[in-house]
Structure 1
Amino acid sequence: MIRALPAAGLGVTALAAALAFALDQITKWWILGPLDLRAVGILDIWPPFLRFTMAWNTGANFGLGADMGRDVWIGLALAISLALLVWSTRMRSSWRRAAVGMLIGGALGNALDRALHGAVVDFLNMSCCGFHNPYAFNLADVFIFAGAAGLILLDGSDNQSV
């Protein structure tokens, strides 16, 4: 038997997801459009800490699973986002719902990249203290990390029984 999702609590999750998704997509539009980082390649913003470096990621973190294919990654993002949405309806804490929303917004932002461009648009590169980081990331990745960290750090005893 399939039950409808309770509307209570979905607002916080949906708002956080929408904000994360929108901020991610706006930055990617700016990187690919007005800034045209594809042509520029690398742009030092705050050397040596922050630079914009154009990168296309067909896998997950650090390019892992690049051979899995675009459609598999899109399907995983959609399935996980739906599961997270359902899970968030059992949460009492608005903060945890917001954390789930950040995860969903980030996952959907990267999924849209894969659908539109065949790969995720990565452009943020941070290095420090003599260490050169060869990898780039984007705001969707930041939201996914922040959402996961929020779920770990926030009290998890707020889940209601089913």
Structure 2
Amino acid sequence: MAENNLWDKFDKAVDTAGLANDVKEAAENGANYREVPHGVYEVEVNKLELVESKKGDPMVTVWFKVVDGEYKGCLIFMNQVITQGFQIHIANEIFRQMTAEIPGFNVEFKTYKQYGELLMDIREAVDGKFEFKLDFAEGKKGFSTYSVDEIYVLE
């Protein structure tokens, strides 16, 4: 009986008719995962946060959504474990590039808690206000690299 109440709770909390429609659209539009090749893309940030990796390490995750061109709607994922100085530097560089047009941002690592809060602040500051020209390339040893080459202010 308690299990039925659980599902009733979800049915009340979620727009199930809208969700069912989303499923139908996904099926009609062939919403299969499509890998975005290395290249330069205009993107928005869909997700930016500090998470725990599968191995239990602190990791920065950024989801860039392509907003124009052949891969419009596809996602580019940046996942960077941050347990060593050079790894934090890699993450800091892209966050500095993303916030270059926003006064008052000091991208700096002090503690994981502080860094997680900084990432939430960056996400909030760019959400719906900025898009980026992202250079998504292959770096050393086959790892992907990410660089923001331009910032577009949305009106």
User: RCO (CA 8 Å, sep 6+): is it higher in 1 or 2?
Assistant: 1
Q: Which is helix-richer, 1 or 2?
A: 1
Larger Rg: 2
Q: What TM-score do you get using the length of structure 2 for normalisation? A: 0.27
TM-score by length of structure 1 reads 0.26
Q: 1 or 2, which has the higher strand percentage?
A: 2
